[in-house]
Structure 1
Amino acid sequence: MSRTRPSPGPRLMLPGLREAYAAFVREADALPALPGALQAEVWTSAQLGTLEAAAPHEAGRRAALGDLIMSLRAAATPGARTFLRALAAIGPAVGRTAAGKAADALRDLPAAPWEGMLGRVVPGQAWLIQEGPLDGDRLVCEFRYADAGTAGMHALAVRLTYGDAPTEVVTVGDVPALMTAARQAMQAELCVVQPYDAAAVGERLRTALNGAEPLPEACYPALALARHRAELLP
């Protein structure tokens, strides 16, 4: 009696991580139901942060990213398509073209209603918040989605210590609340808040976020999204 053997799946560069990639595919099933592009980008960045934090070196990160893209393409689910579109929009530059081609191959699958907004953001005001000589600089950059008004407005907030080493990288969804709290702290003489040149912010962030040194573990979930946003600054 013959028995059908299960498909071995795509040929991977890191086959020992096959189950990890399968877990990413399963978790992506919930991605199309998220309320908007920002939430999808935050989710995608967190998954990429998990990969990068676990990779021992740059070659390992590239291999894992390539394997993930192939695994998503092979899964051929609506969630996999959406994940690939998000990777093509805000993922590491080395994988964007491959992710886009893999997503194109799944074009017949349903698309999330906000898929076309992924990565299409424009920068706004930049701020420098200084809370004290030992706390370093906190750089806050506002962003909004193109042609979407204030919907999805958000900010990237990065704290840099001595030598511009990142110690905190977060995405802020409620920008007015963030700036209100900062101004209240300034009135209480707890910090200094001032507009900051976007070009200076961009240069500092690109240098800080793409360094060779490992970052604090808490920085990784927002790291991919932060790098993408920093690319958009002058």
Structure 2
Amino acid sequence: MGAARSSPGPGLMLPGLREVYAAFVREADALPALPGPLEAEVWTSARLGALESAAPHAQARRAALGDLITCLRAAATPGARAFLAALAAIGPVEGRRAAGRAAGGLGEVAAVPWEKSLGRVVPGQAWLVQEGPLDGDRLICEFRYEDAGTRGLHAVAVRLGHGDVPSEVVIVGDVPALMAAARQAMQAELCVVQPYDPAAVGQRLRAALNDAEPGGRGGSSPHRETGTEPLPEACYPAVALARHRAGLLP
């Protein structure tokens, strides 16, 4: 009798990306060592951004997300469980339920201590920073984790250009330093900083981020079929987490 063949792995919708998913599973081994939920969410958002930036359209992005969830469930490692929990908390809405079920199916796998804190944040102060008519608006919204006080305080900062097209999306961990720098710039008359209605921030961010064209490589040329400006490449690592936070605003 011949030697038994090794299992090819779970069935996938996009089998050509099997090695990509395997790389993500290996990278997830680093998740349990991260100090808290924010670091894990930023890590997860960066991987989601890599998938989205490579996807030619939304359907391919959804297929890749489903495949990734399947591979993580099959891996059944502590890192895979943490990745699934993060996807269930802050990932694309269409994949959260499946990721949550997959994470729940790994009950015998060790959970990270911050698993239940993932995605459980409340909005705080919102700010509008205007540096000039050609620089657009920079929207900053603070968030903190429930029952954590100021620990884990962070902000989403999004720069919107003409037509509210995103040109910069970042997650800021040191909010006091960010606002101190903004106030110094205002004192030097380099910008205007003012409180902003969280509901207005939420409306603008959701419209700008949720409607962003997947698969864009940046630049100023809109897609021919949709007329939508492609999301700049540098925005992708933070966009998944920014979308989650925008969804929590009024």
TM-score normalised per structure 2: 0.93
Instruction: Name 1:196's counterpart in structure 2.
Output: 196
Gaps of 5+ in 1: none
Taking the aligned partners of 1:121 and 1:218, their CA distance within structure 2 comes to 25
Task: State the partner residue of 1:98.
Answer: 98
Q: 1:4: Cα distance to partner? A: 2.3
1:1-234 alignment runs, 5 A limit: 1-211=1-211, 212=213, 213=228, 214-234=230-250
Runs of 4+ in structure 1 over 4 Å off = none
Paired with 1:176 and 1:4, the residues of 2 have a C-alpha distance of 60
Question: Take 1:97 and 1:2, find their aligned partners in 2: how far apart are those partners?
Answer: 42
- 1:199 Cα shift? 0.2
Gaps of 5+ in 2: 214-227
**Amino acid of the residue matched to residue 231 of structure 1?**
G
Structure 1 CA distance for aligned equivalents of residues 137 and 110 of structure 2:
44
By how many angstroms is 1:107 displaced? Answer: 1.3
Q: Secondary structure at the match of 1:6?
A: coil
Secondary structure of 1:138 counterpart = strand
> Secondary structure at 1:108's aligned position in 2?
coil
Distance 2:151 2:49 in 1: 26
Q: Corresponding residue for 2:224?
A: none
Distance apart, 1:2 and its partner CA: 3.3
Distance 1:8 1:151 in 2: 44
SS in 2 for 1:98: helix
Aligned-partner Cα distance in 2 for 1:3–1:107: 34
SS in structure 1 of the partner of residue 17 of structure 2: helix
Q: Deviations over 1:108-142 (max 9, x none)?
A: 11111111100000000000000011000000000
Distance in 1 separating the partners of 2:17 and 2:52:
13
Q: Aligned with 1:233: secondary structure? A: coil
Once the 2 structures are TM-superposed, how far is the Cα of residue 8 of structure 1 from its aligned partner? 1.0
Structure 2 CA distance for aligned equivalents of residues 32 and 230 of structure 1: 26
Aligned equivalents of 1:215, 1:57: Cα separation in 2: 13
The letter for the 2-side match of 1:60 is A
Root-mean-square deviation over aligned CA pairs: 0.6
Percentage of pairs with the same residue: 78
The one-letter code sitting in structure 1 at the alignment partner of 2:116 is: G
Number of paired residues?
Answer: 234
TM-score (norm 1): 0.99
> Which residue type is aligned with residue 90 of structure 2?
I
Q: Supply the distance in 2 between the matched residues of 1:155 and 1:24 (Cα, whole angstroms).
A: 26
